[in-house]
Amino acid sequence: MFIDIHIHIARHSQIGWSPGTEGPATPEQFIEMYDDVGIDAGVMLPLTIPECNVLTQSNEEILMIAEEYPDRFIPFCNIDPRLSCNSPEYDLGWVIEHYRERGARGLGEMTANLWWDDPRVTNLFDYAERCEMPLTFHVATREGGMYGLIDEFGLPRLEKQVADHPDLIFLAHSNPWWSYISGDVTEETWGGYPKGPVVEGGRVPELMHRYPNLCGDLSAGSGFNAVSRDPEFGYAFLEEFQDQLLFGTDVCRPSNRDDVLVNLKNFLEDALAQGEISRETFDKVTHGNAQRILKLEE
């Protein structure tokens, strides 16, 4: 069984991420792709935050898709920290509860281009923790010209928030996060896709070992690159953090069928077949951790 922890989808809009590009895949296109490659369900992350895209999408659209295809799609809601009054004092709890009561299983993808320790971000984390809603985030290396929560080299502000919110499950995503799987990442490479053997002392293993509430979303080229660039390290990493890693793709348009949909899936299946990872690890990463963290078995 495979549960995809990270997809972007749309029922109505066909506008792309930039001029001349495809818009998000429809539910029917996703189901066709999933059936072709053997993925059972996907977690839908609403495109509600402006830094990431030009598409204005509502949480309600995502809930409607989940109602139409309850066995194939799992809804998250997405709450901009600047919502309503653009204030760190605003009560976001009732908004999160509204969507949780309607089926949302988490929050994200958090792509607001605000600093990790911005009081408005802290306010959102506080309410997400109280409402027991796991949160998927994207990291940015700078302010402006990109999307994601901004940190300095070394991720000190990210760590502070994770430490301050021990009951909030953080689902870590993006190349500025996964580049830290290796200890030799530099200020020039931490926003990219470093290749080659992994060097001991990476911040990702350090932080995941220190904080059990910090989990790895293995989607996109960044997650796949992290575990596949040095396969022997990747197998050991999967085994060590088998309770904190989740399969994902980050498919957001039909053309992703050929470039990201099966990379990680094939890697995991090959690792299992070759005896490089255990069946227990395979089952947890491909679906078990998602079921537990998102409380899908309730």
pLDDT digits (tens, 9 = 90+) for 278-295: 999 999 999 999 999 999
What type of residue sits at position 146?
M
Q: What residue spans define the domains of the chain? A: 3-293
User: Measured between alpha carbons, how far apart are the two ends of the chain, in Å?
Assistant: 18
CA distance linking residue 54 with residue 99, whole number of Å:
23
Confidence of residue 15 (pLDDT cuts 50, 70, 90): confident
Q: What is the pLDDT of residues 190-238, one digit of tens each?
A: 999 999 999 999 999 999 999 999 999 999 999 999 999 999 999 999 9
DSSP character at residue 118: -
Q: Over 80: is that where the pLDDT of 113 sits? A: yes
Dihedral angle at the C-alpha atoms of 57, 28, 109, 22, nearest 10 degrees?
-70
Question: How much is the pLDDT for 21?
Answer: 85
Q: How far apart are CA 43 and CA 109, in angstroms?
A: 11
pLDDT per residue as tens digits for the range 118-147: 999 999 999 999 999 999 999 999 999 999
pLDDT given for residue 179 in this prediction? 97
Return the axis-axis angle of helices 119-130 and 156-164, rounded to nearest 10°. Answer: 30
| C-alpha closest to that of 66 among 38, 93, 106 | 106
pLDDT band at 90 (very low <50, low <70, confident <90, very high): very high
Report the CATH architecture of 3-293. Answer: Alpha-Beta Barrel (3.20)
On the question of pLDDT at 155 being above 80, the answer is yes
pLDDT higher than 60, residue 298? no
C-alpha 54/C-alpha 17 separation (Å) is 6
